[in-house]
A = this chain, B = another copy of it.
C-alpha cells in the first residue's frame, strides 16, 4: 500500500441533532473531524496506507478521537499524546435560507500547544509518497506554524509530494498574519488548493469582483488567479473547488484546476445537502487520490469533484465513500437508484 501522511488538528464536533438550533439542543452528536483528518480518512477509504499526525491528550476524550481515526482505517502510530484538551467546535445545520453556524472553542488544544520535538519527521516521512496539510494548522498558534514548516521542509527533503489546502480562517488570524506565514510555506508546495477568497486572504492575490454571497461563479477570474499563483510559486497543480450557495440546502458544486498547461473546469453537480462540513476536504482527498493513481489532470479533477459532491450527502466530517462508489458517479450514474 502507498503511504500517505496528513497532519493537523482533529476536533470534537458537537453537532445539534437534525436541524435544531443551539438554544434548542438537549444533546449533541459527538463527531470527530477536522480538515486534514478528513483527508486522512478519505485516503484510507481509497485504500492508501494513511497516517495522521497530530497531538492529543492522554485522557478518554483524546482517546476517543484516536479511536475514531482507527475505526476508519487511519494509522495513528505517529500521534503524540499529551497536553490538556481536544479542540471543540459546536455546529448547527442550517436549512433553506438559514445558514449553518459554527462556534469554535479550539484554543489551547494539545496540537496548538505542541512543539516540533513532539514529532519525528524523519520516521514519519520514510517511504511516504504524499504529504497533505492545510492552512489551519499554521494559524492555530505560533508553534503550530513552526511545526507546519518543519513538517513541510522534512517532507520536501524526503522527496514526498506536498499538497496544501489554503483554508483561510478569519477567527484564527488576520490576512496580514496569514500572508506572512503562508507565502513562506509555498516554497514547499507541489499542489495548492484554495478558492479565490483563500488566495486573496492567505496569499494576497486580488480577486476581481468576487461576491461569495451571490452564488455566482466568475470562472474567468478563477482561471487567471490560478495561473498567477502557479507562476509566482511554481506549483505543479493549483486547484479550487467552486461552490454556488443557492441556499443552505442546495448548492452547486464543481471545481477547476490548472496544471501549467491546461485549465480544466469540471462537471457541476447540484447537491441536496445533508452535511456540507468537510466538502472541501473531500475534494482535496479525491484529487490527491486521482493524482496518486496517475490519472490525467482532468480525470483526477473529476474524481475529486464527484467525491466531494457525494460528501455533501453524508452526516459528519468524514467522507465515507469508497473508490468504486465515487467512480460510479464519475462514470455518469447520478440517478440515485437503489443499489441492491
Contact = CB atoms under 8 A, between A and B. Distances in A.
A315 interface: yes
A196 to B, nearest CB: 14
A169 B340 CA distance: 9
B63 A336 contact: no
Interface in A16-53: 17-30
A124 B22 CA distance: 29
A96 B250 CA distance: 10
A99 B61 contact: no
Interface centre among A171, A312, A315 (most CB of B within 10 A): A315
Contacts of A101: 60, 338-339
B30 A334 contact: no
A85 interface: yes
A72 B273 CA distance: 29
A28 B29 CA distance: 6
A64 B22 contact: yes
A154 interface: no
Given A71-B70, A336-B245, A315 B18 contact: yes
Interface residues of A, number: 86
A99 B335 contact: yes
Interface centre among A212, A248, A250 (most CB of B within 10 A): A248
Contacts of A25: 30, 64
Contacts of A274: 19, 95-96
B272 A247 contact: yes
The secondary structure that dominates the A interface is loop
Interface centre among A23, A29, A71, A215 (most CB of B within 10 A): A23
Interface centre among A72, A273, A310, A336 (most CB of B within 10 A): A336
A171 B340 contact: yes
A95 B313 contact: yes
A95 B336 CA distance: 7
Contact of A60 (B73, B103, B249): B103
A320 B23 contact: yes
Contact of A67 (B29, B71, B108, B332): B71
Contacts of A313: 19, 94-98, 248
Contacts of A88: 88, 105
A55 interface: no
A88 B30 CA distance: 14
A112 to B, nearest CB: 12
B30 A249 contact: no
A71 to B, nearest CB: 4
The 3 A-B residue pairs whose C-beta atoms are closest, nearest first, are A248-B336, A71-B71, A22-B60
Interface of A: 14, 17-30, 59-61, 63-64, 67-68, 70-73, 84-86, 88, 90, 92, 94-105, 107-108, 169-171, 212-215, 245-250, 269, 271-274, 276-277, 309-310, 312-316, 320-321, 325, 329, 332-340
5 contacts: A26-B26, A27-B29, A70-B70, A70-B73, A247-B272
